[in-house]
Amino acid sequence: MDDSLTKRAAVVDTLPTVFGYLGIATAFGVIARASGFSTITVILMSVIIYAGSAQFTTVSMLAAGSPIASIVFTTFMVNSRMILMSTTVAPYFKKDSLGKGMLIGTLLTDESFALAMNKLNYTNGKMNFSWFNTENIISYST
């Protein structure tokens, strides 16, 4: 990791986290299939539910026959930490548009947050939309 905030730097910086995402995705697929969900359902859950913890929670609660309202509430509570992470990241994007800020917050993950906070150590507290958005898009695509 260096002090560059280019898209290329974001790709290089984010690459190590890709392997973590692949491991979690594989574990989720195995657990979801073992819980009786079809391959297409597992894929749809991976595309629609953009939170590993929410995916695991949803699969276990659906398999147990929990009501949808309980699943939604539990997912919200499990992922409420994202509110704190987003408010920590938001000041770095004050000069950007609301849409850009919403995009950063929507695609934020534990890993992208940690990586960005570490990047701040290399850039003397500077962050930009291009680097962060590239990091988030790589995370989501993985």
Confidence class for position 142, pLDDT limits 50, 70, 90: confident
Handedness of CA 112, 120, 104, 75 (dihedral sign): positive
- pLDDT tens, residue by residue, 40-52: 999 999 888 888 8
pLDDT score of 12: 95
Q: What percent of the chain is modeled with pLDDT above 70?
A: 100
Q: Which amino acid is at 67?
A: P
The tokens for 4 are 């560059």
Q: What is the DSSP string of 32-94?
A: HHHTT--HHHHHHHHHH---HHHHHHHHHHHHTT--HHHHHHHHHHHTTHHHHHHHHHGGGGT
Q: Tell me, what's the pLDDT at 85?
A: 95
Domain ranges of the chain: 13-79, 80-142
